[in-house]
């Protein structure tokens, strides 16, 4: 969708109509404001009417001219001045803004905010000038094509917003998925992220270490369902590189039946709405969704520097950069030691093997803020939290009546030993650490 909007600068390849001349109003405005509107007319006709690149020198003249016309928009808007020039210049500029956004030239929220502000001004100028650009003038200026560019840009922006809003509405509630669908999503992720360093995190990582899949059967028909969506972390070379490559990631997911992906931030907007820092945030999350069943693949990206991985780094030109204690890795002050990730091991995911981080607990502590892994042993189901979160139809549900039993713990030890035997990472090291804790949670009365 975004690629469609990219405006290319194309060479004019057919004869000029002889009557492509400026109106008296445009000539007079050109003189008064020192704008070469003849040149604007010529170059905008090339760009909007035909299909080949402008050369370097033409671009160098076109850019400043577009800006100058936009700066003088209020002076040119009356029908007897040169409103079509404003319409054409603003449309080319809005197309360029959209192209910059789509190709990831804006890395921080500040840059995005500024771009959206400029686009709002451009939109206003387009609306006003299209009301006063007359039919006869519009035959000289490429006004129809200008409005097409605006229309494409606008609907792409709307679509982007709708994708986000739709996701927020649809994914308020976690839909039930099966273990097979969960594994399939991991297989799709592996396919889409070939060539990247990646690993499951949060609930997905716990599930694979504990059961080698999304859920596991314990005693008395209890099922420990650990995970509801698929969470992964992806190492990227740079934000720019990721922006370029993530189109390919999305394409490959779409190929496998996913709907679309969109960018978000791991820094909570609510906590930052009045905060200048929020303007420095990069879009480090890439959420991919599919329907039937409804399901999110939650991709968090990180960069590395020296021995540290981080998701967010704020930079203020002139005064330097710092790693905020925020974002995906805020459980460990916004950074993670690379030795917690590499060299990667293997986790079992049903019939698949997927890469896993070297020190899983360290990555869980970094990515699952709010969970106290000292109080709660990561190797064992958190029965209290499960009771809080899930609905149980009957008092006779064994999670309610008996909680976690010694038999369950024995099953988990055995499962970990089986994973070890097959060469996979498991909960064995953490079960050892848990054994001194009281594992059984008092059942509800
Ligand atoms: C305007 O641009 C055209 C085309 O580049 C050029 O021939 C002309 O001399 C320019 N006019 C002025 C007043 O600079
Ligand atoms: C985590 O739990 C342990 C043991 O209950 C407790 O001593 C510690 O203060 C807790 N840490 C936090 C950050 O709540």
Q: Is 372 in the pocket of ligand 2 (CB under 6 A)?
A: yes
CA distance 323 to 325: 7
State yes or no: pLDDT of 1 exceeds 80: no
CA distance 257 to 259: 7
pLDDT level of residue 197 (50, 70, 90 thresholds): very high
**pLDDT single digits (tens) 71-94:** 999 999 998 999 999 999 999 999
CA distance 86 to 409: 73
Distance 37 CA to ligand 1 centre (A): 9
Helices (H), 256-369: 360-367
State yes or no: pLDDT of 33 exceeds 80: yes
Ligand 2, pocket-test mutation among 330, 369, 375, 434, most atoms within 8 A of CB: 375
Which amino acid residue places its CA nearest to atom 2 of ligand 1?
A: 39
Distance 379 CA to ligand 1 centre (A): 75
Q: Which tokens hold the place of 21?
A: 């001349």
The residue extents of the domains of the chain are 2-170, 179-374
Q: What is the pLDDT of residue 388?
A: 67
Ligand 2, pocket-test mutation among 372, 373, 433, most atoms within 8 A of CB: 372
Q: What is the pLDDT of residue 366?
A: 96
Q: What is the pLDDT of residue 52?
A: 58
Distance 136 CA to ligand 1 centre (A): 24
Atom of ligand 2 nearest to the CA of 373: 1
Helices (H), 103-238: 109-132, 135-140, 143-170, 179-192, 202-211
Helix, coil or strand: residue 317: coil
Distance 363 CA to ligand 2 centre (A): 18
- Residues listed for the chain: 445
Ligand 1, pocket-test mutation among 39, 61, 69, most atoms within 8 A of CB: 39
CA distance 359 to 314: 27
Q: What is the pLDDT of residue 444?
A: 37
CA distance 350 to 402: 28
Looking at residues 405-410, what average pLDDT do you find?
90
| CATH assignment of 179-374, among 3.30.70, 3.30.310, 3.30.428, 3.30.460 | 3.30.460
Atom of ligand 1 nearest to the CA of 42: 4
- Nearest ligand (C-alpha, residue 38): 1
Dihedral angle at the C-alpha atoms of 106, 107, 113, 119, nearest 10 degrees? Answer: 20
- Nearest ligand (C-alpha, residue 41): 1
pTM, two decimal places = 0.73
Higher-pLDDT residue of 54 and 36 is: 36
Which amino acid residue places its CA nearest to atom 10 of ligand 1?
A: 36
Please give the C-alpha separations between residue 275 and each of 271, 329, 335, in angstroms, as whole numbers: 8, 20, 21
Atom of ligand 2 nearest to the CA of 376: 2
Q: Is 375 in the pocket of ligand 2 (CB under 6 A)?
A: yes
The number of angstroms, rounded, from the C-alpha of 139 to the middle of its chain's C-alpha atoms is 42
What residues contact residue 161 under an 8 Å CB cut-off, 6+ apart? none
- 230-235 vs 295-305, strand pairing mode: parallel
Q: What is the pLDDT of residue 171?
A: 65
Most confident of 14-28, 145-159, 217-231, 335-349: 335-349
The number of angstroms, rounded, from the C-alpha of 229 to the middle of its chain's C-alpha atoms is 16
Comparing CA positions, the residue from 2, 241, 270, 276 lying closest to residue 113 is 276
Distance 376 CA to ligand 2 centre (A): 9
Atom of ligand 1 nearest to the CA of 30: 13
Q: Where are the beta strands (DSSP E) in 48-132?
A: none
In angstroms, the first-to-last Cα distance of the chain is 56
CA distance 412 to 210: 7
CB 393 within 8 A of CB 401: no
DSSP assignment letter at 128: H
State yes or no: pLDDT of 193 exceeds 90: yes
CB 330 within 8 A of CB 284: no
Ligand 2, pocket-test mutation among 368, 369, 370, 374, most atoms within 8 A of CB: 374
Which amino acid residue places its CA nearest to atom 13 of ligand 2?
A: 372
Which amino acid residue places its CA nearest to atom 4 of ligand 1?
A: 39
Atom of ligand 1 nearest to the CA of 36: 1
Most confident of 58-62, 94-98, 205-209: 205-209
Looking at residues 274-298, what average pLDDT do you find?
83
Residues with CB under 6 A from ligand 1: 36, 38-39
State yes or no: pLDDT of 427 exceeds 80: yes
- Nearest ligand (C-alpha, residue 39): 1
Higher-pLDDT residue of 418 and 443 is: 418
Which amino acid residue places its CA nearest to atom 5 of ligand 2?
A: 375
**pLDDT single digits (tens) 311-328:** 999 887 778 888 988 899
């Amino acid at each position: 969708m975004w690629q469609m909007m990219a405006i290319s600068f194309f060479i004019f390849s057919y004869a000029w109509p002889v009557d492509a001349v400026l109106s008296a109003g445009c000539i007079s405005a050109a003189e008064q404001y020192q704008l070469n509107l003849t040149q604007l007319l010529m170059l905008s006709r090339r760009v909007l009417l035909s299909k080949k690149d402008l050369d370097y020198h033409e671009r160098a003249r076109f850019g400043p001219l577009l800006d100058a016309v936009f700066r003088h928009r209020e002076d040119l808007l009356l029908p007897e001045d040169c409103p079509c020039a404003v319409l054409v210049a603003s449309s080319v500029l809005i197309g360029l803004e959209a192209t910059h956004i789509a190709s990831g030239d804006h890395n921080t929220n500040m840059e995005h905010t500024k771009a959206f502000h400029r686009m709002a001004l451009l939109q206003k100028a387009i609306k006003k000038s299209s009301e006063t650009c007359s039919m006869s003038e519009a035959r000289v200026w490429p006004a129809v094509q200008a409005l097409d560019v605006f229309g494409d840009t606008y609907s792409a922006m709307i679509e982007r917003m709708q994708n986000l809003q739709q996701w927020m509405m649809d994914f308020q509630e976690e839909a039930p998925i099966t273990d097979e669908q969960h594994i399939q999503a991991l297989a799709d992720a592996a396919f889409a992220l070939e060539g990247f360093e990646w690993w499951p995190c949060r609930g997905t990582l716990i599930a694979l270490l504990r059961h080698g899949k999304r859920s596991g059967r314990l005693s008395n028909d209890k099922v420990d369902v650990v995970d509801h969506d698929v969470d992964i972390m992806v190492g990227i070379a740079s934000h720019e590189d990721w922006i370029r490559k993530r189109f390919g990631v999305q394409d490959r997911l779409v190929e496998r039946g996913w709907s679309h992906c969109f960018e978000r931030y791991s820094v909570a907007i609510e906590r930052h709405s009045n905060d200048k820092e929020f303007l420095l945030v990069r879009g480090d999350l890439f959420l991919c969704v599919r329907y039937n069943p409804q399901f999110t693949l939650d991709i968090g990206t990180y960069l590395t520097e020296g021995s540290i991985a981080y998701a967010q780094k704020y930079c203020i030109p002139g005064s330097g950069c710092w790693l905020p204690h925020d974002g995906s890795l805020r459980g460990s002050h916004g950074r993670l030691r690379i030795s917690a990730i590499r060299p990667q091991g293997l986790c079992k995911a049903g019939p698949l093997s997927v890469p896993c981080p070297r020190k899983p607990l360290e990555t869980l502590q970094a990515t699952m803020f709010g969970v106290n892994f000292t109080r709660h042993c990561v190797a064992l189901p958190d029965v209290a939290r499960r009771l809080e979160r899930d609905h149980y139809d009957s008092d006779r549900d064994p999670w309610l009546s008996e909680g976690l039993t010694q038999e369950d713990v024995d099953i988990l030890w055995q499962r970990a030993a089986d994973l070890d035997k097959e060469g996979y990472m498991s909960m064995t090291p953490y079960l050892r650490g848990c054994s001194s804790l009281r594992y059984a949670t008092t059942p509800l009365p």
